[in-house]
Each structure stands twice: as structure tokens, then as C-alpha cells.
Amino acid sequence: MTKPLLTAATLALAVGAAVSHAEDTIDEPWEARALIKAFATSLQGELKGAMAEGGPVCAIQVCKEEAPAIAADLSQRSEWQIGRTSLKTRNGARNAPDAWETNVLEQFESRQRNGESPKGMTYAEVVTMDDGKVYRHMQAIPTGQVCVACHGARIAPELAEAIDAAYPEDQARGYKAGDIRGAFTLSKPM
């Protein structure tokens, strides 16, 4: 039996508003923040477990397999599309930013250069697409000290080899603690 990616309580927090309000009264920013919190909490738990079990090399598989599974699970259980993206992707085939996301990521970088902390940095907008209006929301992912083991400028040789094997086109290196490593990205039809 496989373990659920998200507990019922975590999911209820994330999408509770969606089932208790009419569509026109849903608080999209609140829902987006709750889903991001559920995603981040679940992913951090998986990463901590992998790090404790086998160090950063074990964490690579969590990022490669579990992170997309957590995003897919949350997306399936909610009305949202949820993922992560970056200007320097580790898995470009899965996480490359579209034009709107690239613009927001560049805005985040500018905001940080102007002194704003990336912690809690968000941007949201209703965008008109070919098939209607879509609420889009992004939240910056600050690079934590633990993240630099795999995303920093100096990566241990055996870890770099494992990253290269898992992600042959990796660009997500050279970060230092406090940098914006990327962002959670969410969208929902209105």
C-alpha cells in the first residue's frame, strides 16, 4: 500500500474554501497560499526524511519523483494547476517557465535587488487566455541553507555526479542562501 502524499487534514486546509463557498465568492489568494503551504510542508517533510535516511543524494529522488507527484495530487484534488518553476531550472522539460512566469520571476529578482525579502514574496493577476480568464499566482521560493548542498556554487563531487545523472540539463546551481531559487506557480480558471 502506498502512503498518501497529503493527509486529509492538510488537504482540507488547502481546499476547504473551495467546497464551502460558491464559485464567485472563493478567495483565490487565500486558496493559493493554502495550497502552497500544503505543497511546501509535504515536500519539506519528504526531503527531511530522505536527508536523514541517506543524505542529499537520497533527496534528489524526492525532488525528481515526489515533488511532481505532490503537485499532481494537489492539482487533482483542487481546481488548481500547481507546480514550481525557475529562471534556472533543474528539469526544464517539466518546470520551464512560460512567458508570464518568466516576467514574474524577473520581477521577483528586481524586487529582491531593491531590498525586499523573498520570504512571502508573491504576485497574482487575472489573465485573459484563449479559453477565458485565469487567476494566476506565484510565490517566490527562497534558497535555504540546506538547499545549497544541491543548488549552491560548491556541490560535493559525488552529489554533482548524482544530480547530473538525474538531470542532464541542470541549470539550478550557483545559488546562495537567501537567493530566489524559483517560485511556486498556480493557476485556476475563473
Residue-wise pLDDT for 121-137, tens only, equals 999 999 999 989 999 99
**pLDDT for the residue numbered 28:** 81
**pLDDT for the residue numbered 65:** 93
- What is the set of domains in the chain, with CATH numbers? 25-189 (3.30.450)
**pLDDT for the residue numbered 27:** 66
Contact (Cβ atoms closer than 8 angstroms) between residue 89 and residue 102: no
- Identify how many contiguous H helices and E strands the chain contains and give both numbers: 8, 4
Please list the ranges in the chain whose pLDDT falls under 50: 1-26
